[in-house]
Structure formats: structure tokens, C-alpha cells
Amino acid sequence: MNKQELINTVALKGEYTKKDAEKAIETIFGVIEDTVATGEKVKIIGHGTYEKKFVKGTSGKIQFGDRKGETWTTQDSYKPTFSAGSNFVNKVNVQ
């Protein structure tokens, strides 16, 4: 499902206009992104937890090709993560 399909589905199931559904979706995801970017968790009981995780940089040597033996490095960084909640996991596991 892409973003437009999500908007259409929310509009249909929630009996909203597409414009209102799009505004709600944009607002919800915007708040989640802004909150996680500050380092705070967003925990939605039953759905899951969004958070910011630290990833330590790594380094190594190129093993093959013309640049064999050269070293490479990646910088320390942060990445957004999502851990599914129990209700979400149970719904996905239904067969």
C-alpha cells in the first residue's frame, strides 16, 4: 500500500474526505518524526514503538577489485527504528 492508497482507505473506512484523511495522516507521521528526531520515544500501546537508535561507525578493507586493500569507514549515526507491539504482531501472525 502506498501513501495515496492509505489516504483513500482511511477516508473510506473513517468516512472522512480525502483531504481530511490526508491532513490527519500527514499530521500523525509528522508528529512521530519530529518527536523521534529529538530522541524521545513514541509508544502506541498495541501498535508499537518508534525510537531513535545510535549506530556506531565501522571500518574495513576492500576485499576485491582494483581498490583491493584500501580501507573504508562509516561515521557514527542515528537511525529511526520501529518495534511492533503485541496486537500488531498477533494480527500479522494470524493465518
Helix, coil or strand: residue 33: helix
pLDDT in tens, 44-60: 999 999 999 999 999 99
Q: At 5, give phi and psi (nearest 5°).
A: -65, -40
Whether the per-residue pLDDT at 95 is higher than 90: the answer is no
Share of the chain above pLDDT 90, in %: 97
Give residue 45's identity as a one-letter amino acid code.
I
Give residue 66's identity as a one-letter amino acid code.
D
Of 1-15, 36-50, 81-95, where does mean pLDDT reach its minimum? 81-95
Which set of grid coordinates corresponds to residue 10?
482511511
Helix, coil or strand: residue 82: strand
Distance of CA 9 to the CA centre of its chain: 20
Stated pTM of the model = 0.80
